[in-house]
Structure 1
């Protein structure tokens, strides 16, 4: 899975779901998430906890008041 819309998930399940999907990626792939708020805390979490996270390739775009699309690339 390379695109994950987490807006309907309970907040307590979101980060775990994202981490699991990211871990399933092969190096060089990326995970795109759709969230209802700016995922800046997730960026810091990934940068601190996932050596395979390519922080330089991270990107986020606000597409609406409750739609943020972030790309989390894997080294």
Structure 2
């Protein structure tokens, strides 16, 4: 049974060109612990990968029903809303990543950034050693801005500086 404030997206009722964007727009309204349900006539796994690419690993993806006629997926926002978070921010939820992969993922995401691009590290302690590693690897090509400094969460926006015009 649907409650009055439950967010269910019946994908088949939407114009095809609006389907994925509608899901992303509704997801962006969620706060920690809230969820939406995607109701579709096929497995919407491409949406999972797009959402992961757009926002990082800040959500859970739970199949409530897996076909053959209908798929229902519960998408829950896991990371608290980060101060000054924008809808296009990629947020790396570091505590959810395997320990041996944490720094490598941060460096990979940074290396993929275009000049002017940003992402947010969401962590349960100050990741200052990453700052020094990035500086040793890439030099002075990034900015490091604390959005939140503990005691529970540290949120840092890392930006690749725009290329200088010569």
Partner residue of 1:5 out of 10, 19, 29: 10
Aligned CA RMSD, in angstroms, stands at 1.7
Give, in whole Å, the separation in 2 of the partners of 1:68 and 1:36. 6
The number of equivalent residue pairs is 72
Structure 1, unaligned runs of 5 or more:
none
Which structure ranks higher in relative contact order (CA pairs < 8 Å, sequence separation ≥ 6)? 1
Q: Unaligned 5+ residue runs, structure 2?
A: 1-5, 79-166
Partner of 1:73: 76
Larger radius of gyration: 2
Task: Answer whether contact 2:41 2:67 (CA < 8 A) is retained.
Answer: no
Runs of 4 or more, structure 1, over 3 Å off, are: none
**Aligned residue runs from structure 1 range 1-75, under 5 A:** 1-51=6-56, 53-54=58-59, 57-60=60-63, 61-65=65-69, 67-75=70-78
Contact 1:35 1:68 in 2 (8 A): yes
Secondary structure of 1:69's match?
strand
What are the Cα deviations for residues 19-53 of structure 1, in whole angstroms up to 9, with x where unaligned?
11111111111111101110110111111111363
Give, in whole Å, the separation in 2 of the partners of 1:20 and 1:52.
17
